[in-house]
Amino acid sequence: MKSHITTKTGDAGTTRTLSGDIESKAHPILECTGWLDTLRAQLALVRRRVLNEKPESYQEIGDVLFWLLHCCFIIGAQVNDPKKKHPEYRWGEISAKFIEKLEHEQQWLEGLIELPRAFIVSAATELSAQVDVTTTFARTFERSLVRLKEIEPEFDAEKLLVFANRLSDYLFVLARYLDHGDYEVLDYTRLNGH
């Protein structure tokens, strides 16, 4: 029986992008797409854990994370076809409205907590630590987006870069909200004698 997943077209280390071009799987387009996919999977994991922990009180956060999962597919179409060779494959693009929504959600969370005035050494819970991990993937995706823009100057990435930057901010604040104020801050005196 033939697999519906395995096509063998990528066996030589190349793949076809949404633009229709065949590129090395190490090309910045595919690197960026890959980091986005990793970020999406992490966001999905965080959403499941958030909803499993407190389904009723965390529903709004779950809704925002679900929205972000959908944003990943819009972003994916943009980064996989940076020259817009096939705009018909795009449902839309990240715009100022998306950035405003993300900023609004971050401000809502910030209004519920007191943010630390020091570097965080460790999250307080497994869930907030998982969000911190997801934040690092958001930042890695952002760096890969910058690399893609550098090699594809025509790539209209301005709003994407802002959105990616705001996303890591949102996730950092979400982690602190889920810490319930119990995070551990940097204390260099812990290094004395070691």
| Rg over CA atoms, the chain | 19
What pLDDT does residue 52 have?
92
Task: Please list, in sequence order, all residues whose beta carbon lies within 8 angstroms of the beta carbon of residue 81, skipping any fewer than 6 positions away.
Answer: 17, 18, 19, 89, 90
Burial 24-49 (b: 16+ CB within 10 A, else e): eeebbbbbbbebbeebbebbbebbeb
Q: For residue range 160-174, list pLDDT tens digits in order.
A: 999 999 999 999 999
- Name, in order, each residue with C-beta under 8 angstroms of 138's C-beta and a sequence gap of 6 or more: 39, 164, 167, 168, 171
Looking at residue 178, its pLDDT comes to 94
pLDDT of residue 81: 92
Cα 159 → chain centroid: 14
pLDDT in tens, 62-113: 999 999 999 999 999 999 999 988 888 888 999 999 999 999 999 999 999 9
* Structural domain spans, the chain: 21-185
Most confident of 16-20, 86-90, 121-125, 157-161: 157-161
pLDDT for res 97? 98
Q: What is the pLDDT of residue 137?
A: 98
Report the pLDDT averaged over residues 134-161. Answer: 97
CA 179 to chain centre: 20
- Cβ atoms 179, 124 nearer than 8 A: yes
Calculate mean pLDDT across residues 32-42.
97
| 122: three-class secondary structure by DSSP | strand
- pLDDT exceeds 80 at position 25: no
Is a pLDDT exceeding 60 seen at residue 10?
no
| pLDDT band, residue 8 (cuts 50/70/90) | low
From residue 122, alpha-carbon distances to 103, 119, 128, 131 in Å are 25, 9, 9, 12
Top CATH class, 21-185: mainly alpha
Q: How confident is the model at residue 118 (pLDDT cuts 50, 70, 90)?
A: confident
The pLDDT of residue 115 is above 90? no
